[in-house]
Amino acid sequence: METVTKKACETHVYRALDEVTAETAAFPIMETLNKAEELSTTCDYCPQAAIYVVSNMQSPPIS
Ligand SMILES: [Zn+2]
């Protein structure tokens, strides 16, 4: 299955969930970033720091 991973801030996490669901037809998994990742990761929808990673896999590869 294709892996879809989206990073989102508090405001855009529901949009990310919607998009992962639409793109994969699978139930999305939402995980929170740890502090170090949070500081270096930007939301896919705005310039804010991302807080959540939404994907269609149990352990998304975050690098
Ligand atoms: Zn955002």
**Residue 10 belongs to a domain:** yes
Distance 25 CA to ligand 1 centre (A): 23
15 C-alpha to ligand 1 centroid (Å): 9
Beta bridge pairs of residue 42: 49
d(CA 37, CA 49): 9
Between 30 and 61, name the one with better pLDDT: 30
At residue 61, the pLDDT reads 54
pLDDT for res 60 = 47
Helix (H, G, I), strand (E, B) or coil at 4: coil
60 assigned to some structural domain: no
| Distant-in-sequence contacts of 17-21, Cβ < 8 A, 24+ apart | 17/54, 20/54, 20/55, 20/56
Sheet architecture: strand order including 5-8 = 5-8, 52-55, 29-32
Q: Which domain holds residue 22?
A: 5-55
**63: pLDDT confidence band, cut at 50, 70 and 90?**
low
In the chain, the number of structural domains is 1
Looking at residue 2, what is its pLDDT? Answer: 79
**Cα 31 to averaged position of ligand 1 atoms, centre (Å):** 15
Domain for residue 61, yes or no? no
How many whole angstroms from 1 Cα to the centroid of ligand 1?
26
